Amino acid sequence: MAVAVAVCGDQGRDPALVYGNAAFGRLTSASPSVTAPISLSAILTFERSETEARGLAGRLATEAPFSETHLFCKADEDSVALRCDWAPLGLSRDGGTCWTVTLTPQSDADALRAELDASEARLAAILDNSPLDICLKDAEGRYVRTSRRFSEIYSVSDDVTRGRLASDLGVSDRWAARSREVDLEVIETGKAVVFEERIPLPSGPMEAITVKFPVIGSSGTFQGVGVICSDVTQRRKLEQALRDSEECLRMIFEHAPLSMNLKDAEGRYTAVSRQLREVHGLTAQEMYGRLPEEVSDSPEWVGRTKRADREVLESGRLLIQEETFQRDGEKRTLLTIKFPRIGLDGQVVGLGSIGTDITERKRAEQALFQSEMEAARTRALLSEAIESMTDGFVWFDNDGKLILCNRKYRELYPRLADELRPGAAYNDLMKLAFDRDQFAVVSAEEVALKQVQASDYVKDHPTFRTKTSEGRWIEARNHPVEAGGFIGIRLDITDRVLAEDALKESEQRFKDFAQSGPGGFWEMDEALRFSSYLDVQTASGRSRPAAQEAIGRTLWELFSVDVEADLYWRAYSQDLDARRPIKDLRAAYTDDQGNRYYWRINGKPFYDRTGRFGGYRGVAEDETAEVEARRRAEAAEARLIDAIESLSEGFALFDADDRLVLSNQTYRNISVNNGAHIVPGITFEEIVRLNVAHGYVPGLEAGEIAEEWIEARLRRHQAAESFLEQDWGDGRSLLITERRTHEGGIACVISDITELQRARAAAERANKDKTRFLAAASHDLRQPLHAIELFVAALEATVEDDEAHELVADIRQASEAAGRLLNALLDVSELETGKLEGRFETFRVQRVLDGLQRVYGQQANERKLSLRMVPCSQLVYSDPDLLERILSNLLSNAVRYTTSGSILLGCRRREGKLRIEVWDTGPGIPEAERVAIFDEFHQLDNSARDRRKGTGLGLSIVRRLANILGHEILLRSVPGSGSMFAVELELGDVCTDEAEAIQPKAGVGFAAQGLEVLVVEDDEQSQKAMSLALEIWGCNVRVAADYDEARDLLSGAAVPVDLIVADYRLPKNVNGVEVASRLRKACGREVPVLIVTADQGKGPRSEIAAHGFKSLRKPVKSEQLKATLAELLDDAVSDSQVSSSVG
């Protein structure tokens, strides 16, 4: 509902209405305005005549709000009672008070209340959504309503602030008192107050602009104070930043040594720098707000400036230009950068200019140009002079950069000619020179020049020589320049170097001839005394006599000989006297330490130009090394021959042509006539043919067979790479070994191995006898142990007192020890025959783990250990029986050696393989023993040979079985904590056993009660033991010794048999597999079969597996038997399920 509102514009006896809204017009049929005011008396009916009108005018003069009810006249209608709420609005232009009057029909009270509620909702929305701090207070200064922003600033909700004073909000008392003073001012004056204040909030002071105004109720009475507060903290900071920026800009404009200005979009100056003012000779006030033409009387400058300004303003791009101007009668040049000024809306709002006086720089550039021109002329003259030089010239600056070089320099280094440009670095040029093989590195200077920084080398070596690849020798002379760098002169000294080399070579040639030959030069004077003697160098050092020992002495004095007594020397003395040449005079010199030097001397006489005899010249050769080597070789040959002759084997050495070099008597004695024909020079083929011809090779007669044998023997001899065992004609056996020497010959050694062959044959016979014995004894030894094991199990189940149990336990330990020893020995025997082979198939490893869990789980429980098996459904490729024997040995050791704790059997995949691991908490294995424990009979901490701890063969068998299967055995151990043994084998692809592949076995317990079992066993003790064990478990047992008895039992029985247990070896040459197969046919169904055998060969295992029967190796442990029977029954159940699902 719209509210009717009007404004009373004047006061007096008949106030006039100057404004009324549409609702007011609808209620009163009047439309007052400023230009057409309507007096109250025209529309208002005063019930108490004129007195009432004067009373209304008096109230309007009091400037206090009030409410009254009046009758309003409407055209052609009855008067209507309206409620009038009067409120002062302020002073009018005539000095009176303006009032507002709100008209409300009495009949609209309910609508007014609804409107009030809506107004309250709008007020709440304004308070919640306004970004301003708004609050309403009552006359006592207590908060009535607050906005959301108020709550955020003071960290208190509207509900909490209601009824509280400002001092309750955690602000300072001073601020609260000042705020209350302003509130009172508003209350007293009834007018709004606008002011700035700093509010001390807990989070920090807030700068604010606050408006406080009186709140007037609908009745015109004072209701409280309204506060609107705007946070201007950030604005004040920005204003301060702006002031700081303006001050900084002012300082820059005032003190920067640049000509700077800012202009508005019309080109008027808004800021000018001090230097620009000085350029124009004006003050800042004289330039601000003026155009360029108003500050300069130069039309040309003004025109350029305005065109440039217009270009920047229109294009919005940077402009750089040079300007000239006159100052103090002098022409100056200014480099100016003009740039557009962009406003917040992205539009160009003006431009700026930065200029610097470059007059002096221009003058310096001109002077530099003139100087450079003069320098260029000087350089041209210098370059012409340098080019005319006959030597190479180069000039490098202080940084090693090339300044210039002449034509001769480029000719000396043709491979660098294209790189010799100004600015090229000396080091780079030298590196490039070596890369392009400009230098032939033949001297230490050139090597050093290549290996170190070239510029550093030049500083340390002002003069050096190099040789170019063109064969030219260059002498480099470098002279430092005072300003830095150096000047280099390159002289072509090829002719001089060649001459020097020729002279040195001539001198060295003579010296080399003298020193590098086997002898030294000497010279005698006319008195035959040494006048010159050049020392002789040998491999062991300087020879004797030395020069100082020979000079001034004669030959016989030097070598201490008596010429008259020695005929050899006398002949040479006569040759000297006759002036004949000296030919191969041999002499021996002994020094002070008794060392002897042997010499061969040759010489000839020489004469001067007049023909007078001047003496002898010749050469003396030191033969000491040759003489001593010859003696050593003779001694070594004698020792070698003696050593060869002392050998018990025959030895012969043939050269590259297969001719005999030497042989001992043992070798010769093997041949015909004790080798009388075997002499150096005879060929190997001749020796072979002689031996064959005289019958020394059994089984050969002259003819084709003998010739074929000879050719084969010669081929093996030439191959010289193998051993040959040869029966000899005299009944001996010979081992012939031939090897080729480094010189292409063949060394042959012949050993008599007759006794060795006899011993080997005897050993092989004994080994075969042992194998036959163990194979025969295996069955007979296992039978009683098998019976004992089952008897012990039955006895253990029947006795009750502790003593008896302890005795049975001792019997069991003794039986198990005997069984382990027997199994180990038979396993070793089987492995030693080399006939045990793996029967590989793909199967689920869980099949093996289940059996091991059943057997060794019970053993672990008896020792109060925890054996845990982690199931694994992985397929593997191996021999399941041999794999089970490996793991049985490992688990047996773990149970035996672990005194407390637990054992873990599990699998893990590693890089395409499966690793089966056995962990225990036993004593661990020291690192030094981790190889030896795999040897036979090696045990840790069992020096007393306690058989309860095993035989020491288990791990040896594990290693050998793993080698047969190609599996790797791994070991990790921590002494005192335990060990881990693992078998690593290949993963399988497709399961061989279809039934197993369809459904893995779940494993059920052995339900023996009432089970009908047929036992086929010919050994009486084994019969009793097996029957007793099965009956104790609750089975009904029928016993037969052979097939006939078993068949009769089945035909006469009313109850069908559930299980057949048969021994493999039965009488009448029929084995248990055949008997069980025939009995199955007689039963007419697939009765589960267990074959118990003491035969360990591959044949029985393959036959049993081929029929799908289970097997156990004697002696059988009771828990092993129970576990296998349970597995058989489990298989039978699974097979029936598979058959029904497939069928």
For the chain, the structural domain boundaries read: 4-110, 130-231, 237-316+323-357, 389-493, 517-629, 647-752, 837-1000
Q: Which of 510, 485, 502 is nearest to 396 (CA)?
A: 485
CATH of domain 389-493: 3.30.450.20
Higher-confidence residue: 458 or 1071? 1071
Q: How far apart are alpha carbons 484 and 419 in whole angstroms?
A: 23
Tokens 């100057």, residue?
18
Segment 509-525 mean pLDDT:
68
Q: Which of 182-186, 569-573, 997-1001 has the lowest mean pLDDT?
A: 997-1001
Decide whether 647-752 matches 837-1000 in CATH topology. no
Identify the pLDDT of residue 657. Answer: 92
pLDDT of the residue at 615: 92
Q: Per-residue confidence at 952, pLDDT binned at 50, 70, 90?
A: low
At 513 the pLDDT is: 59
pLDDT range class, residue 128, cuts 50, 70, 90: confident
Evaluate whether the domain defined by 237-316+323-357 bears CATH number 3.30.450.20: yes
Q: What share of the chain is helix, strand, coil (3-state, %, to 5)?
A: 45, 25, 30
Please give the radius of gyration of the chain, using alpha carbons only, rounded to the nearest integer: 66
| Element of type H or E holding 969 | strand 968-974
pLDDT at 830: 65
Mean pLDDT of 390-397: 89
Domain 647-752 has CATH 3.30.1520.10: no
What was the pLDDT predicted at 967? Answer: 92
Q: Across-strand partners of 195?
A: 210
CATH of 837-1000, one of 3.40.1080.10, 3.90.1300.10, 2.60.40.10, 3.30.565.10: 3.30.565.10
Q: How confident is the model at residue 947 (pLDDT cuts 50, 70, 90)?
A: very low
Nearest one of 143, 145, 115, 142 to 130, comparing CA atoms: 145
Q: Report pLDDT digits (tens) over 806-857.
A: 777 767 766 766 666 666 666 666 666 666 677 888 999 998 898 888 778 8
| Mean per-residue pLDDT, 287-308 | 87
pLDDT single digits (tens) 707-740? 888 888 888 888 887 778 877 777 788 888 889 9
Q: Is the pLDDT confidence value at 1139 over 50?
A: no
C-alpha dist (Å) from residue 764 to 506, 754, 768, 777: 83, 16, 6, 20
pLDDT in tens, 65-109: 766 666 665 544 556 667 777 777 655 555 566 777 777 765 555
Do 900 and 865 touch, CB atoms closer than 8 A? yes
Buried b (16+ CB within 10 A) or exposed e, 659-674: ebeebbebbbebbbee
What are the tens digits of pLDDT across the range 25-37?
777 777 776 567 7
pLDDT at residue 331 above 50?
A: yes
User: What is the structure's pLDDT at 780?
Assistant: 67
Q: How confident is the model at residue 47 (pLDDT cuts 50, 70, 90)?
A: very low
Predicted structure pTM score = 0.34
* Over residues 663-685, mean pLDDT: 84
> What would the mean pLDDT of 185-213 be, rounded to a whole number?
87
Give the N- to C-terminal CA distance of the chain in Å, as an integer.
92
Q: Is 461 a residue whose pLDDT tops 50?
A: yes
Closest CA to 67 of 84, 80, 81, 54: 84
- Say whether pLDDT at 646 is over 60: yes
Most confident listed range (265-274, 796-805, 1133-1142): 265-274
Q: What CATH architecture does domain 130-231 belong to?
A: 2-Layer Sandwich (3.30)
Q: Mean of the pLDDT values across residues 167-186? A: 86
Class of domain 4-110: alpha beta
Q: Which of 766, 806, 804, 810 is nearest to 788 (CA)?
A: 810
| Identity of the amino acid at 566 | D
Q: Report the sign of the C-alpha dihedral through residues 887, 888, 889, 895, in that order.
A: positive
Q: Which CATH number fits domain 517-629: 3.30.450.20, 3.10.450.30, 3.40.50.300, 3.40.630.30?
A: 3.30.450.20
Q: Could you tell me which of 138, 218, 147 has the C-alpha nearest to residue 186?
A: 138
pLDDT in tens, 918-930: 999 999 889 888 7
| Whether residue 1073 has pLDDT greater than 60 | yes
- Inform me whether the pLDDT recorded for 893 exceeds 80: yes
Q: What is the pLDDT of residue 787?
A: 75
Predicted local confidence at residue 972, as pLDDT: 92
The position carrying tokens 């080398």 is: 457
Round the average pLDDT of the chain to a whole number and report it. 80
CB 466 within 8 A of CB 474: yes
Mean pLDDT of 558-582: 85
User: Where is average pLDDT lowest: 16-20, 205-209, 215-219?
Assistant: 215-219
Percent of the chain with pLDDT over 70: 80
